Amino acid sequence: MIKRVLSTMLMTAMLGGCTTDAFVGENDSPYFNKFYGNANDDGSYRVSQLEDGGYLIVGSTEKLTGTDTDILVIKSDNRGNLVWEQVFGGELQDFGTDGVIASDGNLYITGLITNDSTEDENVALVSLNPTTGELINSSSFGLPDRMERGLKIFNSNSGSLMVMLNRDDEQGSEMVISELNLATQDTLYRDYGFINNKDSVNMVLQTANDDLVWCGTVRNTSLTKNIRVTSTNINGQILWDYVIRNQNQEAADMDDAGVGYIVVGSNVNNMVLSMVNRNGNGLVWESEIEETGKQKASAVSKTSDGGFIITGTTNYETENEEIILVKTDSQGNVEWKKYFGGSSNDRGQMYCNQLMAATYY
């Protein structure tokens, strides 16, 4: 059984051992450790904090029959206590990847929905009441004979919804963004891909002047993998396109570091942290996080001291996978590493504002 965990209790160990009063109540402590799940296999894909202080968890839960999954959405309060939980899906494979409260006040979830009749795999777009979790509308969009899965959904500066997605077909893979006008329900696609290559996207950021910065992986005809960072304007014109040409590196996540864009990925054995300058014409620095065994990065986030936290998975000192957190300074030099996990495989997925989301098996 897989359990999803939303936890800040782990920060006690990371801060070097905090002293606490034995009589402090649970609601008085700044730390908490919460598990969500049932008898089926469950997994979280993304966790985010809402304006009311609560947390939104988006992921998947295994169907009662078979191994396919449904979309799972959980809302908790600011202490991690469950507010509501909703499951959506048909007879085939469905899963959620991200959610955002849009300008109309509704909560929108994206991911993948498989059409029960045609078996086409399209981008999920589910709208909910953020207070009650009540379903408002469930739909999907995409082109026929292609697999399209939404990965990230966010509000544009103009108030429309932007859905970042990957599109796969017989010709290869493309990085795609879809813009949904909430007032007119018009949808506009923009593709960003190299000819005869397979491109996938992991993260997209929007700058103050409405430009977009993409982070993903490009595979050439020999299947060599490189990290790709691309900037476009809101109309789809490419402003710059930079490929980190170190063989067999795959992107995981990106954040805006002010002086540049911090990108985390993995090569065959280790996690790699790279700072791409804001003009996209080179690296400021690059750091390989060496470790015994194999490790794979999932996410990166800035810290208040100018450094970075990397979340990932490692089999350090064990045959099973464990959660790993790595803290670096502003130049990618490792300051500390922490490991978490039990007797089975455990996977760290993201860390933000002293909140870690992970999947425990």
Q: Is it the case that residue 5 has pLDDT exceeding 50?
A: no
pLDDT of amino acid 14 = 35
Going across the sheet that includes 212-219, the strands are 198-206, 212-219, 225-232, 238-244
pLDDT of amino acid 343 = 60
Q: Which of the two residues, 355 and 113, has the higher pLDDT score?
A: 113
Q: Which of the two residues, 350 and 49, has the higher pLDDT score?
A: 49
pLDDT one-digit tens code per residue, 286-327: 999 987 778 888 889 888 899 999 988 887 666 677 888 899
Residues 6+ apart with CB under 8 A from 173: 166, 167, 193, 198, 199, 200, 219
Which residue bears the tokens 């990847």?
97
CA distances from 188 to 112, 141, 180 (A): 18, 11, 7
Which residue bears the tokens 């860390």?
351
pLDDT interval class at 262 (50, 70, 90):
very high
pLDDT of amino acid 128 = 95
pLDDT of amino acid 24 = 41
Q: Is it the case that residue 335 has pLDDT exceeding 90?
A: yes
pLDDT interval class at 164 (50, 70, 90):
confident
Share of the chain above pLDDT 90, in %: 23
Least confident of 98-112, 198-212, 268-282: 198-212
Share of the chain above pLDDT 70, in %: 78
Q: Is it the case that residue 17 has pLDDT exceeding 60?
A: no
Segments making up each domain of the chain, as ranges:
249-361
pLDDT of amino acid 9 = 33
